[in-house]
Amino acid sequence: MKDVSFAVADGETLGFLGPNGAGKTTTMRILTGFFPPTSGTVKIGGLDVFEESLAVRRMIGYLPENVPIYGDMPVNDYLDFVAEVKGLDRGARKKAVGEVVESCGLEPVEGRMIKRISKGFRQRVGLAQALVGDPKLLILDEPTIGLDPQQISEIRSLIRGFSGKKTIILSTHILPEVSMTCDRVAIIRDGRVIATGTPEELSAEMSGGSRLRLRTNGSAGAVKERLSKVAGVLGLESGSAQSGLMVKVERGDAVQARVAAAVVQSGWDLYELSPITASLEDVFLELVTRESGPSEEEEAE
Amino acid sequence: MGNFWAIFKRELTVYFTSPMAYAVLVIFLLIAGYLFASSVSYYAVVSLEAMQNPDMAGLNVADAVLNPLFGNLSVVMLLMLPALTMRLLAEEKKSGTFELLFTYPVRDIEVVLGKYAAALAVFVVMLALTATYQILLVYLGKSAAGVAVSGYLGLFLAGAAFLALGLLVSALSENQIVAAVVTFGCLLLLYLLGWASNMIKSDLGSVLTHLSLMEHFRNFSHGVVDTVDLVYYACFIFFFIFLSLRTLESKRWRG
């Protein structure tokens, strides 16, 4: 891994997006102090992960990728054990375990052996152990991997429920997950962070401005000619009859208004004028499949 | 030290919720009981003979029953104790649970000592259950309290040493079977090191003898508590626990 540098603000949810093998898990392990970084530093809450490992570990709740929890313990005993090693005393432990059992919906499996519960519940126990002791920072490595769609949406809504209250760093290779749960995204490839920003920013950046979809009753040639004179319009492509005309414009609402005015002033009927933003999927595929482009760009910045 | 207790309790619970502790306990007690019964009945036969034979006047319970019993028990321990230590750290590594364990605010030393203490506790239970034999001997009017106490001290120290070595091997291996086999092999080698002195008559021979687990156990089973032996076992245990700790720490420091 090289040049991985990012900051997460309090209460923010950062999504770590990348294809398998890009270095997501390694990053998570370095963040939690499980792997030492060969160079560079990680600071959580102002403390160096490496130098003040114990203090940092008190602040974080970690859910590793394959949910390595003890199968040979009942769920509530396990959570009690976790609460104890996280330094909670007897009374606080009972309360803390009760809270996470409730917030993760673990009541149905409370007394069962972990190796006998379903994968969905196992994942929730994993999340519960990260939450025990109310850590400020949650680090979740692929929290929805291997679950069925309903379980995935349950886990996601659980995670969304914490946004604002806790700082969350989660890694995933599933795109909708990021747009659904995260405030900010860092895209990682080959051990490098190649882009960061809100999902919207990334989309906008990608398309280099925004695009508008325009449908009118004017003939394509005339419309093109008229619009190319409007300030802020960067280019035009004609699409099919249904999709209308694609107008590439500078960012901002002013251009959109000018385009609308131009169409109407020319006496055409305006059926549709809507902005098209690149989906996160486009951004991701673009960034990840681009061979050499992005790294040069990054260095230039 | 709160975390030490948390680890200790968890390990102990796992021993007794899995068949492991029961298997080791039952087999150990079965063999120990057999060894005790056979040496007592042998003693009964021999002492009948001794009534007629003045050459055998020195016959007593300590030499005829306890000494061989303790010697045999130490060999049985050598066979059984690797089964107690093999899973301690190897299992955590295999199942990945140590990733979580080491991202909790737990010191490595608390993990090492907690796990070691849990194995030691199971072993102490094992040993304590064989103390019933001594009660039987008292009931038969043939007790040899001094030898019994020193013998048990010796067994305890030897067992604690076996477990410390097993802990280190478990920290080094990811596979429980490998951990058990290597532990057993190392212990047997250290146990039999004393034989080397028969073949090597130089200083090296005496060094090897002093390193042998068996040589230091011998005094205890004869009722002699020597500080040399106490120091030997204390160093042995400390050394292997220390190495286990370093092994765990190295996992975190390797770049």
pLDDT, tens digit (0-9, with 9 covering 90-100), for A93-149: 999 999 899 888 888 998 899 999 988 889 889 999 999 988 989 999 888 877 888
Q: Which residues of B touch A85 (CB under 8 A)?
A: 3, 6-7, 101, 104-106
In chain A, CATH 3.40.50.300 covers 13-197
* Res. A241: pLDDT tops 70: no
Q: How confident is the model over B60-84, as a mean pLDDT?
A: 88
**Residue predicted with more confidence, B118 or A215:** B118
List all residues of chain B from 143 to 202 with a beta carbon under 8 Å from chain A: none
Contact predicate A224/A236, CB 8 Å: yes
* Res. B73: pLDDT tops 80: yes
Cβ neighbours of residue A254 closer than 8 Å, sequence gap 6 or more: A232
Q: Which residues of A touch B96 (CB under 8 A)?
A: 64, 66, 68
- pLDDT above 90 coverage of chain B, percent: 53
Contact predicate A66/A146, CB 8 Å: no
Query: How close A39 comes to chain B (CA, Å)?
Result: 9
* Res. B147: pLDDT tops 80: yes
- pLDDT above 70 coverage of chain B, percent: 96
Whether B103 sits inside 8 A of A34 (CB atoms) is yes
Confidence of residue B237 (pLDDT cuts 50, 70, 90): very high
Whether B2 sits inside 8 A of A84 (CB atoms) is yes
Query: How close B6 comes to chain A (CA, Å)?
Result: 6
Residue-level pLDDT at A74: 92
Q: Are strands A184-189 and A13-17 parallel, antiparallel or unpaired?
A: parallel
Residue-level pLDDT at A298: 37
Query: How close B5 comes to chain A (CA, Å)?
Result: 9
Whether A57 sits inside 8 A of B255 (CB atoms) is no
Contact predicate B114/B6, CB 8 Å: yes
Residue of A35, A54, A68 with shortest CB distance to B96 = A68
Structure tokens at B164: 């410390």
Residues A253, A233: Cα–Cα separation, whole Å: 12
Residue of B18, B104, B105 with shortest CB distance to A72 = B18
Structure tokens at B56: 């055998």
**Residue A227: CA atoms inside 13 Å, Cβ hemisphere, count?**
31
Question: What strands lie across the sheet with A245-249, from one edge to the other?
Answer: A233-238, A245-249, A210-216, A270-276
Q: Are strands A233-238 and A245-249 parallel, antiparallel or unpaired?
A: antiparallel
Residues B194, B215: Cα–Cα separation, whole Å: 6
In whole angstroms, what separates CA B54 from the centre of its chain? 39
Contact predicate B170/B90, CB 8 Å: yes
Q: How confident is the model over A57-77, as a mean pLDDT?
A: 90
- Fold annotation for A13-197: Rossmann fold (3.40.50)
**Could you tell me the CA-to-CA distances from B235 to A129, B127, B155, B248 in Å, in that order?**
39, 22, 16, 20
* Res. A291: pLDDT tops 70: no
Question: Which of the residue ranges A23-32, A81-90, A158-167, A224-233 has the most confident prediction, judged by mean pLDDT?
Answer: A81-90
A73 shares contact with chain B (CB less than 8 Å): yes
Select from 3.30.470.30, 2.60.40.10, 3.30.70.100, 3.40.190.10 the CATH code of A207-276: 3.30.70.100
pLDDT for A242-260, tens place per residue?
557 777 777 667 777 888 8
pLDDT for A184-222, tens place per residue?
888 888 888 877 888 777 766 655 556 777 888 877 778
Q: Give just the sign of the alpha carbon dihedral B41, B46, B51, B52.
A: positive
Whether A36 sits inside 8 A of B254 (CB atoms) is yes
Contact predicate B229/B235, CB 8 Å: no
Test mutation, A26, A85, A127, chain B, max B CBs within 10 A: A85
Residue-level pLDDT at A281: 66
For residue A63, give the 3-state DSSP assignment: strand
Query: How close B170 comes to chain A (CA, Å)?
Result: 18
Residues A208, A197: Cα–Cα separation, whole Å: 15
Overall pTM surpassing 0.95 (yes/no): no
In whole angstroms, what separates CA B165 from the centre of its chain? 10
**Could you tell me the CA-to-CA distances from A274 to A205, A206, A212, A226, B37 in Å, in that order?**
18, 18, 5, 18, 94
Cβ neighbours of residue B146 closer than 8 Å, sequence gap 6 or more: B62, B223
Strands of A118-267, DSSP E: 137-141, 167-172, 184-189, 192-197, 210-216, 233-238, 245-249
* Res. A168: pLDDT tops 70: yes
Contact predicate B35/B72, CB 8 Å: yes
Q: What is the mean pLDDT of chain A?
A: 80
Kindly report which listed range (A2-16, A26-40, B46-60, B115-129) carries the lowest average pLDDT score: B46-60
Q: Where are the domains of chain B?
A: 19-104+127-253
**Residue A155: CA atoms inside 13 Å, Cβ hemisphere, count?**
26
* Res. B70: pLDDT tops 70: yes
Confidence of residue A174 (pLDDT cuts 50, 70, 90): confident
Q: What is the mean pLDDT of chain B?
A: 88
**Could you tell me the CA-to-CA distances from A109 to A62, A105, A122, B190, B224 in Å, in that order?**
21, 9, 10, 48, 56
- pLDDT above 70 coverage of chain A, percent: 86
Confidence of residue B236 (pLDDT cuts 50, 70, 90): very high
In chain A, CATH 3.30.70.100 covers 207-276
* Res. A296: pLDDT tops 50: no
Q: Which residues of B touch A141 (CB under 8 A)?
A: none
* Res. A65: pLDDT tops 80: yes
Confidence of residue B78 (pLDDT cuts 50, 70, 90): very high
Residues B120, B104: Cα–Cα separation, whole Å: 24
Buried b (16+ CB within 10 A) or exposed e, B23-53: ebbeebeebbeebbeebbeebeeeeeebeee
For residue A216, give the 3-state DSSP assignment: strand
List all residues of chain B from 11 to 40 with a beta carbon under 8 Å from chain A: 13-14, 17-18
* Res. B139: pLDDT tops 90: no
Whether A64 sits inside 8 A of B99 (CB atoms) is yes
Strand partners, A195: A187
Neighbours of A180 (CB within 10 A): 16
**Could you tell me the CA-to-CA distances from B31 to B74, B76, B129, B181 in Å, in that order?**
12, 8, 13, 20
> Which is nearest to B23 in space by CA: B69, B72, B70, B84?
B84
Confidence of residue A265 (pLDDT cuts 50, 70, 90): confident
Query: How close B17 comes to chain A (CA, Å)?
Result: 8
Structure tokens at A130: 């990260």
Q: Which residues of A touch B106 (CB under 8 A)?
A: 85
Q: Give just the sign of the alpha carbon dihedral A102, A103, A108, A113.
A: negative
**Nearest residue in chain A measured CA to CA from B8:** A81
